Amino acid sequence: MKEVAIMDVLEAMESRTSRRAFLRKQVDQGTLERIVKSANRSPSYMNTQPWELYVVGGKVKDALAGKLSSDITNGVPLVPDIPFPTVWPVDHEERFKHHRLRRFRALGIDPDKQQDEVIAAYRNNFKFFDAPCVIFVAMDRTLTPWSIFDCGSFVNGFLLAAHAEGLGGCPQAVPTGYADAIRTELAIPGHLMIVLCISLGYPDPASPVNQYHSLRRELAEFVHWYGFSER
């Protein structure tokens, strides 16, 4: 059995971060196949492997980005297959508001005074941040939330494998608000719901947005120990 490079795995988990600016460099299909093959080892309930992937690049990706960008500019309502949350627990809301403010400040944007820049940043989601490639994760509508959890496990493995290949990715929920348009453009069967999309490419190291790193809670805030002695 091949020895697992445990420290390499931990380093990848510690250093991976979402990227929102990319170089004008295409991602070849062979690299994508390696990433997907690695992520395909992700665990799933009863080994059901519910994920279906639609990998989009080139002119097809450009056309889709143009369609979604036009829709959001023209005020077409968002109707995601998985409803976006409208209410959060207080501590969750505080975290995402703080995260949003820090990220805008990293871009030199004051969200209270520069609404045009805020809107432009939001609409950039629908262009997939100009990434050369976008991956849509879908699953059968009849499946339960357990399968959404499994798809999340797959996405985490995919992002780590992509990071190991020198790529950067950003998991996105907002573009899935145009699930029907995505299905139409890519001829995705109607029995599949769009769970998530991932913008993917070689990250631009000079972009300010790629210098931003989100904060994480301390272990004491969310880990509850039982049966362990205090250190």
Instruction: Give the chain's mean pLDDT.
Output: 94
Q: What pLDDT was estimated at residue 9?
A: 87
What pTM was estimated for this model as a whole?
0.93
> How far is the C-alpha of 154 from the C-alpha of 58, rounded, in Å?
24
DSSP 8-state secondary structure symbol assigned to residue 143: S
Give pLDDT tens digits for 153-166.
Answer: 999 999 999 999 99
Confidence of residue 176 (pLDDT cuts 50, 70, 90): very high
Give pLDDT tens digits for 25-38.
Answer: 999 999 999 999 99
Is the pLDDT confidence value at 71 over 80? yes
Is the pLDDT confidence value at 2 over 80? no
Give pLDDT tens digits for 48-62.
Answer: 999 999 999 999 999
- Are 117 and 10 within 8 A, CB to CB? no
- Are 101 and 111 within 8 A, CB to CB? yes
Q: What pLDDT was estimated at residue 4?
A: 55
Is the pLDDT confidence value at 106 over 90? no
> How far is the C-alpha of 135 from the C-alpha of 186, rounded, in Å?
11
Tell me the backbone φ, ψ of residue 30, rounded to 5 degrees.
-60, -40
Question: Which among 180, 204, 78 is positioned nearest to 129, based on CA atoms?
Answer: 204
Q: What pLDDT was estimated at residue 231?
A: 63
Which range, of 6-15, 47-56, 161-170, averages the lowest pLDDT?
A: 6-15
Question: Which among 155, 163, 140, 150 is positioned nearest to 198, based on CA atoms?
Answer: 155
Mean pLDDT computed over 176-188: 98
Give residues with Cβ within 8 angstroms of 187, minimum separation 6. none
Is the pLDDT confidence value at 86 over 90? yes
Mean pLDDT computed over 173-190: 98
> What is 21-85+127-222's CATH number, 3.40.109.10, 3.30.70.141, 2.40.50.140, 3.30.2090.10?
3.40.109.10
Q: What whole-number percentage of the chain has pLDDT above 90?
A: 90
Domain residue extents for the chain: 21-85+127-222
| 230 or 126: which leads in pLDDT | 126
Confidence of residue 224 (pLDDT cuts 50, 70, 90): very high
